[in-house]
Structure formats: C-alpha cells, structure tokens
Amino acid sequence: MVLGFVGAGTLGTGLALALHQAGCPVGSVSSRRFQSARALADKIPGCVPFPTAQEAAEAADLVFITTPDSVIETVAGDVRWRHGQYVVHCCGALGREALQAAESQGAETGAFHPFQTFAGLDEPALTVNRLAGVTFAVSAEGRLESFLKELADRLGGRAVSITEELRPLYHASAVLSCGYLVTLLEAAVQVWQAAGFTEEDALNALAPVARATLENVASLGPRDGVTGPLYRGDVVTVRRHLEALSRSRPDVARLYLSLTEKALPLAMQLGMGPDGIEALERTLAEFDDRRPDTQRPGSWQSDAHQSSAVPPSGDEPGAGPLDADLTNADPANVDPSRVVQPEARRL
C-alpha cells in the first residue's frame, strides 16, 4: 500500500517521516507550494514531490490530506479519485463528511487523528519517541478502519474509534491539553515578566514544575497530583494573587479567576469546608467583573447569611439538593450555601 500526502506542513511532514520510519512506503507528496513538497520528499527515499494534488493522489493507494482543516473539503472536491482508493484526513474535529466529494466518486474515506503535537518533528528519529503511546482517533469502516488501526499500532500508538458526532468534543479535549496548555504557560511567563524577569528566566523556572506536574497527573491522576493554595484551603493567598494580577495583568487575573472556579469542585472533594467555600466565593465575586452587581459581595453576603449555616430544605426556589457527585459539578453552578459537609463527600 503506497501512501501519499497532500499538504507538507507540520503534521504532514511529521506523519510521513514517522510512517516511513515504521516501514510504510511513502511514495508521493504535493503541497500548495512545490518547495514544501520537495523539502519533505528530500527526507524520504523513494518519495516523489508532485506539483499538484491530482498527481500525488494518482501515485498513491492511500492519500492523507494534511492541509489546514478549512481546506480539506476543497482538496477532496478538486481531485478525481479512483474507485476503492483510500482518502483520509487528520483533523480531530471533522468527521468523514469533509471527504464526501471523494466518497461520492467511490473512494473509501476516513479520519485519523493523532492526539499529539507534531511541532518540531522534522527528523525521522524524533518521531519515534514522540508517537510512542499516542492515541489515534480513527473514524472509518471496513478494511480502511482495520488498516488505519494497524498504522497506529505500527507507529507505537493505540487506536480508538470515535464516532463522527463525538469528534468535536474529543478534539476540544486535545486543544485543552495541548494548545491551551501553552496559553496557560504563556500567561505564567507574562506574570514573571510583569515581575521584572525575562522570558528565559521564566521558562527556566516554569519548565521543571510544569514537567513534574504533568508526570504526577499522568501517574497519580488529577486528584492526587494536584497542589496549590486552593487545595490547602488558603483562600487568603488566592485573594493576594487576584489583587496582584488585577494590578499588573488584568487579562491573566480573569483567566486565574475562571480556573479557580473550575478548580472548586476538586478543592471541595479534597476537604474545603463551607467556611472556605464561602470565603472563596466572596473573593471571586469581588474580582469577577462579569457578575452583575447584585452578586457582588454586599448583596451576596445577605443571601449567604441566610443559608450558609443551615442545611437547605429544598423547598425554596432553586434549592435542589447539591449533586451528590461533586466530581462532575460545574463550578459555575455550584452554590456554596448548598454545600453542608463536603468532607463527608470525599471519595
């Protein structure tokens, strides 16, 4: 089975090199600019760069369309496909509908998304470690599905089947754990810079703790891998952070506030009691410019005063019992006054 690529960018290059390294024949490549195709072909013996997607497709049995997501459908529609030819894209959020034009010509279509970043993968040797243990989301049928699962296996990864409708949800998780992880670290760098340090100083400081945290979460899970003031119940420290960030980096203060809200259910599981929750909610309300004034501390306090010490009866409007599974509670919907004894809910 000869493999071809249309789109010699970050993923196309890394995946082609990885498949070549795994012993799969990569025979053709094209890209928007011929020089990109040639740069990839130069790294793989036997791979021919072509000026058009049509020519690259004709020279392959399975074609990976590795263009930006927004172009996949256009490329699929511009090429004349052979009956029975395999056509696959690597976008996480799209399903096979993006390849409808190829399917209507008799091609078999699929999606093959590696849950991994390919940034910096431009040498064959680098691909081996990067793809080991990686999850590949496969959406395909019949022989193509089996073949794509076999490819995942040969790359040292593992395949999971993802239905078409679940792909956007699945891919949101990929973005949270990769692209937005970078956003978070970039924010941490900016805060270091606001304290007068360089980006290099910041990265030297952040990299060890970020690496150790990822390793802890991977081996212990979020619950046992987490540390920080919120999980110790140090609400005063959270307040000091918000004060400092609001002065120096208001954009990061908003991010910090949202993350604190999202972290609240886990803090509750880990034993944050009603007093801590109440103090935290007051702090968040004070710094949250998205909340209407009615929810700012003054009015909030009178509401909380009525209910914080008293278990809710369930009779008053909106006073349903707090969901017993706080693990899945949406912090935006958690009313701290409903939480009576979080300690009793610890797993």
Ligand X SMILES: NC(=O)c1ccc[n+]([C@@H]2O[C@H](COP(=O)([O-])OP(=O)(O)OC[C@H]3O[C@@H](n4cnc5c(N)ncnc54)[C@H](OP(=O)(O)O)[C@@H]3O)[C@@H](O)[C@H]2O)c1
Q: Which residues bind ligand X (CB under 6 A)?
A: 6-12, 31-33, 36, 53, 66-69, 71, 75, 90-92, 113-114, 117-119
CB nearer ligand X, residue 116 or residue 337: 116
Cα–Cα distances (Å) from 208 to 116, 203, 211, 213, 214, in that order, read: 21, 9, 5, 9, 10
CB–CB of 208/251 below 8 Å? no
DSSP, collapsed to helix, strand or coil, labels residue 30 as strand
Q: Which is nearer to ligand X, 12 or 27 (CB)?
A: 12
DSSP string across 129-162: HHHTT-EEEEE--HHHHHHHHHHHHHTT-EEEE-
CB of 235 to ligand X, least distance (A): 39
- 223 to each of 228, 267, 284, how far by Cα in Å? 12, 9, 22
Distance in Å, CB of 15 to ligand X, minimum: 8
Are 178 and 117 spatial neighbours (Cβ–Cβ below 8 Å)?
Answer: yes
The amino acid present at 313, given as its one-letter code, is S
* Closer to ligand X by Cβ: residue 5 or 192: 5
- Neighbour count for residue 198 (Cβ, 10 Å): 11
As a whole number of angstroms, the distance between CA 245 and CA 208 comes to: 23
CB of 127 to ligand X, least distance (A): 12
CB of 247 to ligand X, least distance (A): 36
CB of 52 to ligand X, least distance (A): 9
| Residue 58: CB minimum distance to ligand X, A | 15
Q: Smallest distance, Å, CB 68 to ligand X? A: 5
Q: How many CB atoms lie within 10 A of CB 238?
A: 22
Map residue 60 onto helix, strand or coil: coil
C-beta nearest to ligand X: residue: 9
By beta-carbon proximity to ligand X, the closer residue of 25 and 77 is: 77
Structure tokens at 199: 């980006």
Pick 13 or 260: Cβ nearer ligand X: 13
Cβ proximity to ligand X: between 29 and 268 the closer is 29
| CB nearer ligand X, residue 36 or residue 337 | 36
| β-sheet bridge partners, residue 158 | 135
Nearer residue to ligand X within complex by CB, 50 or 192: 50
Burial environment of residue 163 by CB neighbours within 10 A (0 to 12, 13 to 18, 19 or more)? exposed
- How many CB atoms sit inside 10 A of residue 23's CB? 7
Taking the complex as a whole, the smallest distance from the CB of residue 31 to ligand X amounts, in Å, to 3
